[in-house]
Amino acid sequence: MPDSHNSASKPDYVLGTHHEEHARLGIQHSLWREFVLDAWKRAGIGLGSSVVDVGAGPGFATMDLADIVGAAGHVTAVEISCRFMQNVKDQVKARGLLNVSVHLVDLMHQDIPLANTGAAFDAAWCRWVCMFVTDVGAMVRRIRTSLRAGGMAVFHEYGHYETYGLQPPTPHIDAFTQVAMQSFSARGGNANIAGTLLKALLQQGFEIVSIKPLARAARPHESLWQWPAGFIRTYLPRLLDLGFVNQAFMSDVLQELDQAEQDPQSVMLTPTVIEIIARRSCA
Ligand SMILES: C[S@@+](CC[C@H](N)C(=O)[O-])C[C@H]1O[C@@H](n2cnc3c(N)ncnc32)[C@H](O)[C@@H]1O
């Protein structure tokens, strides 16, 4: 199925919105869920909070947020992809949720709509979205405008993508990491956006409440392995389609990955995520 289901018929964002990417985002969310719940708790997101899920994808975090804020709270999901937005709407309907609203928004060109009450949000959640946009300053400005004074913004974005790969490093998987980063840059994104994001937050009057790197290591028998290994397997065919790699490159990477998987002692590091929790100033 073509991936052209976006507002204004723009090309899909680089990872795509096809079925495999949807499934990957679901596994990814469940493997990072404990870190996410912890960050939300520390940012004060709880019963009755009003939260915006910025670049919500198919809505895995949106559904968790809806449970956490309860009937007295509200979650607004904003997303550029029609297909992902429809996925969120389908889940909202299937679960009979009354506390979630969903909007098709291109955050590079449109503001974040406020919840039905018209009040600004208590918190914003944004994960692995800043790395794909062309202007992170504009993104921060829109998040800032949508938050009440003292509202919290919580981000999980990468700060050092190059940690992604086997330990000790291997040539083909390391080359995959480099090409993946190039593919994000080619569309105006930046894998290692966390530093620029931090600067933009400070420039726009946010106070940094907490900042921490999250790097993880996985062995082939651990469920976490599926995440870095699964991304290599789903993204290689996409890189081939987009012309970033050829068949020989793809075979070399897959062979190296298959071999690593046969050895229970193999270790794969994830790209390093930087968690940022920031408070909107009162001014
Ligand atoms: C890697 S996915 C992450 C989805 C979700 N935040 C999560 O953690 O599961 C990146 C998401 O950002 C969305 N996105 C990219 N550029 C956007 C833009 N300009 N406006 C709104 N959403 C955007 C994509 O459509 C995609 O759903």
For the stretch 191-236, pLDDT in tens is 999 999 999 999 999 999 999 999 999 999 999 999 999 999 999 9
State the number of CA atoms in the 13 A half-sphere of 77 facing the CB: 29
Question: What are the backbone dihedrals phi and psi of residue 38, each rounded to the nearest 5 degrees, phi first?
Answer: -65, -45
pLDDT at 115: 80
- pLDDT tens digits along 236-249: 999 999 999 999 99
pLDDT at 11 over 70: no
pLDDT at 5: 38
pLDDT at 4 over 60: no
Check if 136 has its Cβ closer than 6 Å to any atom of ligand 1: no
State the number of CA atoms in the 13 A half-sphere of 58 facing the CB: 18
Sheet holding 165-167: strands in order across?
A: 165-167, 267-269, 217-218
Check if 128 has its Cβ closer than 6 Å to any atom of ligand 1: yes
Check if 256 has its Cβ closer than 6 Å to any atom of ligand 1: no
Asked if 163 and 271 touch (Cβ cutoff 8 Å), the reply is: yes
- pLDDT tens digits along 94-141: 999 999 999 999 999 999 999 877 789 999 999 999 999 999 999 999
In angstroms, the Cα distances linking 195 to 131, 184, 209, 273 are 11, 16, 15, 11
Helix axes 171-186, 226-241, angle to 10 degrees: 60
Atom of ligand 1 nearest to the CA of 15: 1
Atom of ligand 1 nearest to the CA of 25: 9
Q: What is the mean pLDDT of residues 59-64?
A: 97
Ligand 1 mean position, distance from CA 57 (Å):
5
Check if 81 has its Cβ closer than 6 Å to any atom of ligand 1: yes
Ligand 1 mean position, distance from CA 263 (Å):
35
Ligand 1 mean position, distance from CA 106 (Å):
10
As a whole number of angstroms, the distance between CA 80 and CA 55 comes to 7
Check if 84 has its Cβ closer than 6 Å to any atom of ligand 1: yes
Q: What is the mean pLDDT of residues 159-170?
A: 98
- Pull the structure tokens for residue 106: 């291109």
Ligand 1 mean position, distance from CA 228 (Å):
19
- Take atom 27 of ligand 1 and give the residue whose Cα is closest: 57
Helix axes 19-42, 60-69, angle to 10 degrees: 30
Closest CA to 28 of 266, 209, 225, 265: 225
Q: Are strands 74-79 and 100-104 parallel, antiparallel or unpaired?
A: parallel
CATH topology classification for 7-280: Rossmann fold (3.40.50)
